[in-house]
A and B are shown apart, each in its own frame.
Chain A
Amino acid sequence: MEKELLELTVNGEVQEVAVKPNDTLLEVVRDNLGLIGTKEACGVGECGACTVLMEGRPVLSCLTLALDATEQEVTTIEGLSTGEDLDPIQESFIQYGAVQCGFCTPGMILTAKELLGRDKNPDEAEIREAISGNLCRCTGYAKIVEAVQAVK
């Protein structure tokens, strides 16, 4: 398949990448840009592990064509905080023990980020609803919910 050059804005940087028309955003961020924090656990839109933010909205990057991500601000887990700094959600996930194997963590954090962006004080039910598309097999979600709730 022919590749075409595409301009993507990822984590605040404009990047030029050569993509095939059927390349997903997940493939491009992982393979072309080396942003391996975005995880693939199913590849078919059923687990949320590949969640990234597009214009601040969570999208499943395994179901999003890279071509459809042009002229949009894409944020991956690597772009949530700069350098050694952490976003308060990341800090909270660490402190509350919300991370076990960590494979669901990047997608979970980005989903929670969007929730907290539109609602500073979500209640427990709202948090659970918001992350219900993100599967975690390790934690039973309890500490994840606590961690999100604790972000002030």
Chain B
Amino acid sequence: MKEYRLIGKRLPRIDARDKVKGRALYTDDISMPGMLYGLILRSPYAHAKIVKIDTSRALKLPGVKAVVTGEDTAKVKFGVISRSRKFIDEYPLAVDKVRFIGEEVAAVAATDPDAAMEALDLIEVEYQELPAVFDPEEAQKPGAPQIHEHAPGNISREHHMKKGDPDRAFKECDLVREDTFTTQSAIHAYMEPRAALASWDLTDKLMVYTSTQTPYYVQQHLGRTLGMNPDNIRIIKPFVGGGFGGKSDGLSAVEFSAALLSKHAGRPVKIVCSRDEEFTAARRKHPASITMKTGVKKDGTIVARQSRAILDGGAYCSLGPLTTVLMGTFQTLPFRFEHFQYDGYRIYTNKPPCGAMRGHGGPQVHFAQDAQLDMIAEELDLDPVEMALKNGLKTGDESAAGFKIVSSGFAECLRKVSEAADWQDKKRTEKNDPKKAYGIGLGCGGFPSGAGFYFNKTTSAHSSVIIKAGEGGGLSVLTGASDIGQGSDSVVCQIVAEVLGLPIEDIHITSADTEITPPDMGTYSSRVTVAAGNAALNAAKAAREALFKVVADKFEASPDDLLAEEQKIFVKGSPEIYTSFVDAVNLYQKKNQGSPLVVKGSYNSPDPLSPTYSFGAYICEVEVDLRTGELTVLRYTVGHDCGQPLNPMSVEGQIEGCISMGMGYAISEDLRFDGGQTLNPSFLGYAMPTANQMPKIEITHVVTDDPHGPFGAKETGEGSLDPVAPAIVNAVYNATGVRIKDLPITSGKILQGLKDKDR
């Protein structure tokens, strides 16, 4: 790999200083003169008609300045995937009907939070309860309650894909296995609850600060639901305390209610969700039941796959129609299938809507896939690593779903981790201690570096960056890419600084203010490094070109012979002939009648699916207490191919974060329901991993030079999650002989499995 000055270096984040000093402003940290406090009234019923809402008593309460319900809205539905009418199925405040416990019914704004709280109790809603359905199998039966008129059988989306002829191919296989796997309800649990602060000016322009991953979608969807031109809406994304897909729905009732209340009250309104609201009513991951049939040859070559997934969608679409597709297509990474068939059904139920969560359908199907391949390897007496090597996608391959692999370090990931973890020896560890057992397991993954399409109709590029040079030699970089904690601001600055030979401190970034920054799809589908990174790269190159032109004229050299380094532009091979970067900017202005140097760069994925794909192989080691079923995760050995890591420290941070989230998914996190009621809506009840539960993590960067990524980089934020859970599941099997097919792995399930085995 080429050596760079900044690229590939372990650089601290540009915003870390403000964050450690407690100075970074998140939405709830921002206040305005005259600001009111808003709260949302939520449905206590899983399915009910709204007969009448009386807000008069609430409005009379001192301090209350506005109360709004669905009747005060334009009654326009929204849905983030707005290309299809069917997926636009939700009112930002309920109209006529509620479909899950926690659905937004009304909102109040008052001069202090206590008054707002009291006002919620004074809103009188008359409901007429309807029969509800909570189980996706039940919901499909004839006579089941109908949740939406447009969806007979409560089918929110079905998706079918087929390549080759799996039925015929199975007949020629040496081994065919069919298993059903189920996964639970999990949730993002970002640390910063959703929040929005809205205010209007007297020309009817709306400004909203919001904790979002997708400011441009919020602008569009707010415009649509409020019945106004989106260009009259300014969305500002301050610092965001994590999202993981939970703030990517294009709109939430929080933003909408704050805007509407503010309009009614004529004052700024801030709404901040409580943690209870986040656990009971926010978007979450789809629970799924996946029946997977895989046929292989004796030597472990995978021939065919047929699978069927039932997704429990909850009451509205959210991003679920896409999840339904991705649970099929993601199965085709990182392995080759000659014959492939997938049938996915997303079913409406009277529970909180499920949408995108980190990995977006991947964690569910990779759990199933890797667990099943582990079983197959055992039956054929093959080594799972060898079998993965045999079937892994290589550079130049196309997956069964049409993913074009332009760079793959998968094989190297497998080799490196099996060596680093001492896989061959450790998997044969003797099991002769009656009290505890050691086990080791493999998980594999591959993930797109960003979707190649917008969810709505637009002519905008996927990402754009504007660079504006200041007379002092500093650069303003404007990007719509949304840093939500993953570090995209730092990456964009790093790329611009690298290209222009400037220190990172000279780059001043404004990210995601729709009034100022150019459009960007936002932070989802692991697209930011490649898309916004390439847009930044293109913009920086345009700035360099403009400056080189004037400097070349001055030195009577060719622009091709110039270099930008150390805040200078100089002639290659003659470092004494140079002009400082500041002088070059001023020279440019002089030559252009004072017009400032402003350039832009854009990026569109060359492939409608995704420009490129990351790969990973993880080995997990566990210990199981055979008397109690207690599971301790000892160690993860990670091999990850994210192309050229732009900042290895940030890449590791993403992987380590994925390991904690994936571990939680595998062994503890589980939103439990009684009907439509969430039983454990708290951090303690939800039980995500704490510092003392985390294992040792050892990461090997497998560096590939991707042809599409900026400086050869690919994604790492989502794909890193997929192998985590299956690696534990397979390690538990290796330790105990207990095969877990439904997540999470609890000690109870392990104990039960041990008992069943002894029978």
Contacts and interface: CB of A to CB of B under 8 A. Distances in A.
Contacts of B683: 42, 46-47, 135
Nearest to A89: B20
Interface string B13-24: 101111111111
Contacts of B657: 100, 137-140
A90 B15 CA distance: 13
B697 interface: yes
A49 B190 CA distance: 12
A94 B688 contact: no
B484 A78 contact: no
Interface centre among B114, B241, B274, B655 (most CB of A within 10 A): B241
B22 A36 contact: yes
Contact of B682 (A44, A77, A140, A143): A44
Nearest to A129: B692
A49 B191 contact: yes
A99 B191 contact: no
A109 B20 contact: yes
Given A102-B24, A137-B688, A44 B12 contact: no
Interface string A31-54: 000011111111110110100000
Interface string A128-148: 110111111111111111000
Given A102-B241, A135-B683, A145-B691, A93 B485 contact: no
Given A44-B275, A129-B691, 14 more contacts: A40-B28, A41-B192, A78-B23, A86-B20, A93-B20, A100-B485, A102-B19, A105-B20, A109-B20, A133-B690, A137-B190, A137-B242, A137-B244, A143-B652
A41 B656 contact: no
A100 B19 CA distance: 9
14 contacts: A37-B23, A38-B22, A41-B192, A81-B21, A97-B13, A99-B20, A100-B486, A102-B241, A129-B691, A137-B244, A137-B688, A138-B653, A139-B653, A140-B653
Contacts of A129: 691-692
Contacts of A43: 274-275
A101 interface: yes
B410 interface: no
A132 B690 contact: yes
Contacts of B649: 96-97, 143
B656 A143 contact: yes
Given A36-B29, A100-B487, A140 B659 contact: yes
A95 B10 CA distance: 9
A39 B195 CA distance: 13
Interface string B679-712: 0001110001111111001000000000000000
A61 interface: no
Interface string A70-89: 00000011100100001000
Nearest to A138: B657
Interface in A105-125: 105-106, 109, 125
Contacts of A76: 22
A94 B690 contact: no
Interface centre among B192, B649, B688 (most CB of A within 10 A): B192
Given A100-B653, A103-B191, A138-B242, A90 B21 contact: yes
A37 B22 contact: yes
B689 to A, nearest CB: 8
B139 interface: no
A77 B17 CA distance: 12
Contact of A103 (B21, B242, B655, B658): B242
Interface centre among B12, B22, B240, B274 (most CB of A within 10 A): B22
B653 A86 contact: no
A28 interface: no
A59 interface: no
B26 interface: yes
B25 interface: yes
Contacts of A131: 691
A89 B730 CA distance: 39
A140 B242 contact: no
Contact of B191 (A36, A78, A136): A136
A141 B275 CA distance: 21
Interface in B619-674: 649-650, 652-653, 655-661
A94 B691 contact: no
Contact of B19 (A44, A99, A125): A99
A104 interface: yes
B200 interface: no
Contacts of A40: 28
B13 A94 contact: yes
A104 to B, nearest CB: 5
Given A44-B682, A102-B485, A138-B485, A97 B691 contact: no
B239 interface: yes
A141 B691 contact: yes
Nearest to A83: B21
A25 to B, nearest CB: 15
Nearest to A106: B22
8 closest pairs, A vs B, by CB?
A: A37-B22, A101-B485, A103-B241, A102-B19, A140-B656, A77-B22, A140-B660, A97-B649
A135 B694 contact: no
Given A94-B16, A97-B653, A102-B241, A47 B660 contact: no
Given A94-B13, A97-B652, A144 B20 contact: no
Contacts of B18: 102
Nearest to A125: B692
B417 interface: no
Nearest to B649: A97
B391 to A, nearest CB: 29
Nearest to B662: A140
Contacts of B693: 132
Nearest to B485: A101
Nearest to A148: B691
B320 interface: no
A20 to B, nearest CB: 8
Interface centre among A37, A103, A131 (most CB of B within 10 A): A103
B81 to A, nearest CB: 26
A37 B21 contact: yes
Interface in B185-202: 188-193
B697 A101 contact: no
A28 to B, nearest CB: 14
